[in-house]
Amino acid sequence: MAESSECVTKKGHVLHKGYIDHLDELYNFPVRDQDVWICGFPKSGTTWTQELIWMIMNNLDFEGGKEDIHYRVPFLELSWYKDNAESFYLEPLRDNIGYIKKKYQSGPVCLKTHMPWVFLPKDIQEGLKKTKIIYVVRNPKDAALSLYHFMKALGECNEPVDDFLENFIAGNAVYLPYWSHVLEFWEQRHKPNVMILRYEEMLKDLPGMIRKVASFLEKPLTDDQVDQLVKHLSFDSMKTNSAVNNEKLIKERRQIKGLGEAQTGHMRRGQAKSHKAEMSPEMIEKFDEWINVNTKNTDFVVE
Ligand code: A3P
């Protein structure tokens, strides 16, 4: 998550300043009916969702799934980070938009973005295309802690955890404020092409969620295929799968910064309510108050 000097606020959302030059391009992005956009606030289980969606869209092609997920499910705005050109290991993705357009030639595309709803292409916001939108959401206390540990693993965060969490609540970093992000998508939930996916529900009932997503994507699965996916998507399997666990990215980022091995990886705990073991009671209270204030006039319930 970028420091505040690298951020700008637009339409009430904090963005990396490298994004600003691309907002018009994104608004006019050529959207297609057959594609799937995976959206969500960072650390909400996006990678898990990406792997699930890609597998369903590609008829459980476990061989093809050995390719790094950044190629299979490109991260829309990644190349807009100013420092990306210096340090990102996936060279062709320096021009993600160009890469996605090239991918268009070979069939339906799944892509991932953390961009808030109000910056998505006009055709999506105005419902002019049937593009499927899957928004993954997770308890903000767990997402915030997951983000803290991931930024630390990347060598991009030196602050004490409580300072990081205070900044999270205050909305002082890229993609924040958290509530604008979540509630703008939540408002879209009744549209037939929009599905809200809860991280906690995936944990509770993975086979059920796999079936639900497959039916939303109009790609029903056999019981045997669901079983295969449950195994493939288990935490232990994702943790050791180098196509999804970002170990190469973390290693490279740390090497550039002259840092030793990271203490945690992208697949860290993989639990619901893990904040209970990691946050102080005072911080939990602060978060709860912030959750109450921000959800008071909505029907959004935090899992
Ligand atoms: P933790 O840091 O709490 O472990 P994202 O992909 O959006 O960056 O989200 C990362 C979070 O999703 C991490 O949370 C990671 O462990 C969790 N995650 C990824 N795959 C998972 C799986 N198969 N089961 C449970 N959690 C998973």
| Ligand 1 centroid distance, CA of 206 (Å) | 14
140 in Cβ contact with 134 (< 8 Å): no
In a domain, residue 234? The reply is no
In a domain, residue 227? The reply is no
List all residues 6 or more positions away from 102 whose beta carbon is below 8 Å from its beta carbon: none
Cα 59 from chain centre: 22
| Ligand 1 centroid distance, CA of 91 (Å) | 25
Q: The domain that contains 42 carries what CATH number?
A: 3.40.50.300
Q: Of 211, 212, 207, 209, nearest to 227 (Cα)?
A: 207
| ipTM score for this prediction | 0.99
In a domain, residue 6? The reply is no
In a domain, residue 144? The reply is yes
Q: How confident is the model at residue 79 (pLDDT cuts 50, 70, 90)?
A: confident
Cα 126 from chain centre: 23
In a domain, residue 303? The reply is no
Nearest CA to ligand 1 atom 10: 43
Predicted confidence at residue 91, as pLDDT, reads 66
Site of tokens 């991932």: 112
Nearest CA to ligand 1 atom 12: 45
Q: How confident is the model at residue 92 (pLDDT cuts 50, 70, 90)?
A: low
114 in Cβ contact with 46 (< 8 Å): yes
Model confidence pLDDT, tens digit, residues 1-55? 555 678 999 999 999 998 999 999 999 999 999 999 999 999 999 999 999 999 9
| Ligand 1 centroid distance, CA of 8 (Å) | 28
In a domain, residue 2? The reply is no
Model confidence pLDDT, tens digit, residues 117-157? 999 999 999 999 999 999 999 999 999 999 999 999 999 89
Told to judge if 149 belongs to the known catalytic residues of this protein, a careful annotator would answer no
In a domain, residue 37? The reply is yes
Indicate the number of domains in the chain: 1
In a domain, residue 9? The reply is no
Task: Please pick, among 22, 70, 114, 266, the residue that the annotation labels catalytic.
Answer: 114
User: Which domain does 265 fall in, by range?
Assistant: 14-222+241-295
